[in-house]
Amino acid sequence: MEKQELPFELGYRMPAEWAEHECTWMAWPKDPSTFPPELLPGAEKAYIEIIRNLHSGERVNLLVDSDGYAARITGLLQADGIGMENVALHVIGTGDVWFRDYGPIFLTKEGGEVAYTHWRFNAWGNKYYELLNDTHIPEKIPIGSMRGFDVPMVLEGGSIDTNGKGTFLTTEQCLLNRNRNPQMSREVIEKNLHDYLGATNIIWLKGGIAGDDTDGHVDDIARFVNDDTVVCALEEDQEDENFAILRQNYELLRMARDQDGNRLNVVPLPMPEAVAYNGQRLPASYANFYIANRKVLVPTFGGSNDLRALEILRELFPGRAVVGIGCRELVYGFGALHCITQQQPAALNTSSNMPD
């Protein structure tokens, strides 16, 4: 069998999220175990608000289960005044909405070419067997003749974050968890991140927040906002179960270096007040924001820290509008804005934190 060429050797790298997007990929909510009937209308309302904010700056590619769903969703969007000229619906069935974790992770190279990587998705350590087929979504979506690279490793997009310069954030709790790649050592995992995504400098944080069924995804904890600045979620209540782990992650980031050996600027981001449903703690975090071409969409939860979080992020994204999206119903499914979106970079990649 002929050996597959590696993306890094060919000049491909995973760009930062603020690099120009061609489009955003999403899947419409419908799974009753994720969003029961009393919560689905709120989740759909959040989706409509997300698409309203995205479609003026980039195309939205939305996966739906059937032609009937497509007609209903088109009606919902149009009734809300959203034009369909920059929204494309694709009849491709999915188990659930978490496109960030099962969809392709895109790459770019100098000269503008875009490619994608197809990692294995095992439903966060085989927790949800009915969702395992979502691992095939990268094979099904219409991305034309784009070059693809198959990666023999389990990896979810929400478990990593990058500044596009080679520095990546992740957690030991997730990537070293034996329910993902039990046959792989830390060194082998790091090599795969290097060979397929261009990671030359990996910052390993410890663990994730309470209520997170993904085993510590970093997109609820710490995120790059430009080449050398990271926001890090911090819990101020010392009695809260998130206090110690988030403080530990914060101290690790303060000591960390970027790909050039320089210290990072680490900006604390408050945590929302605890969000629960039927007594179950949910993984609510302002760090689960999504950086689009013209806007930054930030999950809000109706608490007193919403405004503080928005103000901090507005200072960090002066070239984009920072918009709060109510996510109380979305987070019942154990995720929020970043979890349900995946950016496809434009062919002409930019490294600026400013939109065109």
By the 10 Å C-beta count (0-12 exposed, 13-18 middle, 19+ buried), 163 is classed as: buried
The total domain count for the chain is 1
Would you say residue 349 has pLDDT above 80?
no
Would you say residue 3 has pLDDT above 90?
no
- Any domain includes 352: no
Would you say residue 255 has pLDDT above 70?
yes
CATH of the domain at 37: 3.75.10.10
> What range defines the domain where residue 30 resides?
8-345
- Any domain includes 308: yes
Rounded Cα distance, 230 and 249, in Å: 12
pLDDT attached to residue 209: 98
Catalytic residues: 339
Q: What is the distance between the terminal CA atoms of the chain, rounded to a whole angstrom?
A: 44
pLDDT attached to residue 112: 84
- Any domain includes 350: no
- Any domain includes 351: no
At residue 189 the predicted structure's pLDDT band, cuts being 50, 70 and 90, is very high
Mean pLDDT of the region 159-176? 98
- Any domain includes 210: yes
- Any domain includes 231: yes
- pLDDT tens per residue across span 49-90: 999 999 999 999 999 999 999 999 999 999 999 999 999 999
Mean pLDDT of the region 314-331? 97
pLDDT attached to residue 350: 46
Q: What's the pTM? A: 0.95
- The set of residues, in sequence order, having a beta carbon less than 8 Å from that of 150 and lying 6+ positions away, is 4, 117, 118
pLDDT attached to residue 271: 98
- Any domain includes 356: no
- H-helix or E-strand spanning residue 162: strand 161-162
Q: What is the average pLDDT value for the chain, to the nearest integer? A: 95
C-alpha distance from residue 2 to each of 34, 52, 149, 322 (Å): 42, 46, 14, 47
- Any domain includes 276: yes
Residue 33: DSSP 8-state: T
